[in-house]
Structure 1
Amino acid sequence: MSTEVLDTAHPLLDETDSAAVMEALSTRDLSGTAPVVATYERALGRTFGVGHAVACSSGTAAIHLALLAHGIGPGDEVIVPATAPVMTAMPVLAVGARPVFADVADSASFALSLPDVQSRLSPRTRAIISVAMWGYPADGDALAALCARHGLILVEDAAQAHGSRTGDRLVGTRGRVGALSTHERKLINTGEGGFLLTDDTDMARRLVALRNAGKIARGEEFGRCFGLNFKLPALSAALGVSQLARFGQRLATRRVIQARLAAALAGVAGVTPFPVRDGTANGYAVLFLADDPAMASLLGEGLGEAGFVSDPHRYAYRPLYRYDAFADIPADDCPNATALCSLLVSLPCHEGVAPTDEQRMISTIRRVLES
């Protein structure tokens, strides 16, 4: 039996990536204002079908910039799904606002519960963050309509959802601004990094200034407005350009593996494939639900012993308000989120997963369930 550990992360690097980075090195222009960064941003815009992409230092920074660009700060509230990762809610604290944790629609969905969101609105509510966890599309047009009715900003956290679609739109391109990550665990890998997507030219200019200490373009001075230093370095941008060339191929490969694993799990008693509703998942991971929390824990342990990392088990996945960083923030219980977090199990589905690995994952799941 192979002892190699198969994680969700699978950075795919080859000689084209090395050549791209070496070419950027040869220019000796390595800062976040180097021409290769603009080249990368144009390539991102074409890939995702939007007018503007703004590269930055991380997916967390992308959310932070989106909140700053909309003037969100002290005294404001931002609704965040209780099932979101810590990195989604930290920027809310960073701008001085208060995260309000809302429940999901049911225990088999990352979509926000619209009635629960409605009940948590207050005169201080300024924005709602939508999150497609593990690349599974979540919130559809109904959430956007709710935001429009109440004059709220919708920020899409698509950090794990490169290539996921809801309807005819890519997740991250359906609102005024979308935030994505290019951490090494993602389909587009620059080590660390992120980017924002928007069709709003004024918004793009604001984001550029905010990520570069108040400076919009070369030749201008810093401090034209408030800004931070959230630029993406040139070497990371060069790697991003190279990574984009294989993005479609990686997405297709992962979806094939994802479909095979989901089909195999559909016939296993005791677990249920996580449903993909109103869209297509991107192949970040295969998700399924155990019949009860104890079984989910056993499956996570059994998969780990067999060399397969299950993210919910590894990260002790739980609602956001149960993390120490948010302990001082008043929060009501979110029962659907609690149930979902306790039942969820994941499987890797990247290019490094061989057919024999797929068979071992399924046989491990069967063995644990039978025992």
Structure 2
Amino acid sequence: MNVMYKIPLFDLNFGLEEEQAVLDTLRSKWISTGPKTTAFEADFAGMLGVSHALALANCTVSLHLAMKILGIGPGDEVICPSLTFVATVNAVRYVDAVPVFADICGDADLTMDPLDIERKITPRTRAIVVMHYAGFPCAMDEIMRLARRYNLKVIEDACHGPLSEYGGRKLGAIGDVGCFSFFSNKNISTGEGGMLVTNDEGLYEHAKLLRSHGMTTLSYERSKGHSTGYDVVESGYNYRMDDIRASIGIVQLRKLGDDLKKRAEVRLWYEDAFSAVDGVCVPFSGHRGFVSNYIFAVLLDVSCSRSRDEVRDALHKEGIQTSMHYPPVHLFSIFREFSGGLPVTESSAARLITLPMYSRMTKQDVGCIAQSMNEILHG
């Protein structure tokens, strides 16, 4: 049954520009990986200030390629968060490496705790995968110091953070490899799609080779006369993005800056409105660096008399759509063998609710949500 919400969880930022971009691409007669994909990659690399960007089918394959090009393999340990979408950790298992879960900092900061990361490092550790929750940066100075000290690679899962900044640098551009998602509800949406970014030319060339079956040239290059044949030099994959999605991505990039500025205003409205709601914690309150505000999460106090699911059900009845980002990965059946218990993650996740966040939200929408939450908790 389709449910029409008074205030939905997110709103797709599409318009006539995206429709025209798709139509132009269809009329160009080239719809697979080609000129639009190349242009999207160039625009994205320029936006982040990185040397290389590689457009891919989705972010999951971006994470997989990151593991492959960094040489992570069977038996290697990779420190990663549990409060993330499962793809972050699935990619570790794709290369038969071992996920080692690190706890989060706490209710006020849902990113990985550098102190717990260091506690989890062993002689078998090869890499750290960070996830910038809601677009708010992990403590990258401390994490990069750990990486240098222990000779580890750093992969940034920046799916939540296009254009988010840390110390004057864009998220995804700090570690060895950055990975982005263009799923339908992300800040940049192409339906499905992803991007791998790096400043290392060797890593980029290896990822580009693996993206298309290990072939030395692509169909579009051959169609332009750059080559008449190709060799296959490594077992690769079909991880390409097509030009239809890339054309949408180009338009979405142009709209991103304005969209994120509006989201920042929505977040300020939320922080102000929820300052009057007792029993609710707003993570990252007071953070004033530029972030994408992909989602807006709140946590119920540990002393709250109502469960998270009861509160969500009550908001649902008020016409307010919610979600929960995320069920801890280490508690999923398939990952329990790797779980040593993460008390902070487990406590926070049990009380976490994702509320609506999109640029077209009004101050009235935010006030309505805060009022409903207050009445549910204290009415």
Q: Do they superpose with TM above 0.5?
A: yes
Contact conserved, 1:100 with 1:120, CA < 8 A, in 2?
A: yes
Find the aligned partners of 1:154 and 1:60 in 2 and give their Cα distance: 16
Distance 1:347 1:319, change over 3 A: same
1:289 aligns with 2:299: yes
Q: Secondary structure at the residue paired with 2:112? A: coil
Q: What is the CA distance between 1:75 and its match in structure 2? A: 1.4
* Counterpart code for 1:27: S
Find the aligned partners of 2:200 and 2:288 in 1 and give their Cα distance: 26
Which residue of structure 2 aligns with residue 119 of structure 1?
A: 119
Q: What is the CA distance between 1:216 and its match in structure 2? A: 4.7
Distance 1:114 1:31, change over 3 A: same
Q: What is the CA distance between 1:355 and its match in structure 2? A: 3.2
1:234 aligns with 2:243: yes
Q: Secondary structure at the residue paired with 1:128? A: strand
Which residue of structure 2 aligns with residue 10 of structure 1?
A: 11
Alignment of 1:134-153 (within 5 A): 134-153=134-153
Between 275-284 and 23-32, report the one with greater CA deviation.
275-284
1:249 aligns with 2:258: yes
Taking only aligned residues, the RMSD between alpha carbons, in angstroms, comes to 1.9
1:269 aligns with 2:278: yes
Q: What is the CA distance between 1:295 and its match in structure 2? A: 4.3
Which residue of structure 1 aligns with residue 349 of structure 2?
A: 341
- Percent identical pairs in the alignment equals 28
Find the aligned partners of 1:111 and 1:31 in 2 and give their Cα distance: 37
5+ residue gaps, structure 2 = 222-226
Q: Secondary structure at the residue paired with 1:90? A: helix
1:368 aligns with 2:369: no
Find the aligned partners of 2:291 and 2:323 in 1 and give their Cα distance: 17
TM-score by length of 1: 0.93
Between 5-14 and 79-88, report the one with greater CA deviation.
5-14
Find the aligned partners of 2:291 and 2:275 in 1 and give their Cα distance: 17
Distance 1:124 1:364, change over 3 A: same
Distance 1:297 1:4, change over 3 A: closer
Which residue of structure 1 aligns with residue 27 of structure 2?
A: 26
1:213-249 CA deviation, whole Å, 9 max, x = no partner?
1135433625222311100011001111111111101
5+ residue gaps, structure 1 = none
1:309 aligns with 2:321: yes
Q: What is the CA distance between 1:121 and its match in structure 2? A: 1.7
Task: Tell me how many residue pairs correspond in the alignment.
Answer: 365
Q: Secondary structure at the residue paired with 1:235? A: helix
Q: Which runs of 4+ in 1 moved over 6 A?
A: none
Q: Secondary structure at the residue paired with 2:87? A: helix
Find the aligned partners of 2:257 and 2:299 in 1 and give their Cα distance: 28
Q: Secondary structure at the residue paired with 1:161? A: coil
Find the aligned partners of 2:375 and 2:105 in 1 and give their Cα distance: 32
1:103-130 CA deviation, whole Å, 9 max, x = no partner?
1223332332233222222222111100
Q: Secondary structure at the residue paired with 1:154? A: strand
Which residue of structure 1 aligns with residue 224 of structure 2?
A: none
Find the aligned partners of 1:216 and 1:47 in 2 and give their Cα distance: 28
Alignment of 1:210-225 (within 5 A): 210-217=210-217, 218=221, 219=227, 221-225=230-234
Which residue of structure 2 aligns with residue 105 of structure 1?
A: 105
Q: What is the CA distance between 1:159 and its match in structure 2? A: 0.6
Q: What is the CA distance between 1:102 and its match in structure 2? A: 1.3
Contact conserved, 1:258 with 1:285, CA < 8 A, in 2?
A: no
Q: What is the CA distance between 1:146 and its match in structure 2? A: 0.2
Find the aligned partners of 1:63 and 1:279 in 2 and give their Cα distance: 26
Contact conserved, 1:64 with 1:94, CA < 8 A, in 2?
A: yes
* Counterpart code for 1:368: I
Q: What is the CA distance between 1:67 and its match in structure 2? A: 0.6
Distance 1:5 1:222, change over 3 A: farther
Q: What is the CA distance between 1:297 and its match in structure 2? A: 3.1
TM-score by length of 2: 0.91
Distance 1:271 1:39, change over 3 A: same
Distance 1:214 1:5, change over 3 A: farther
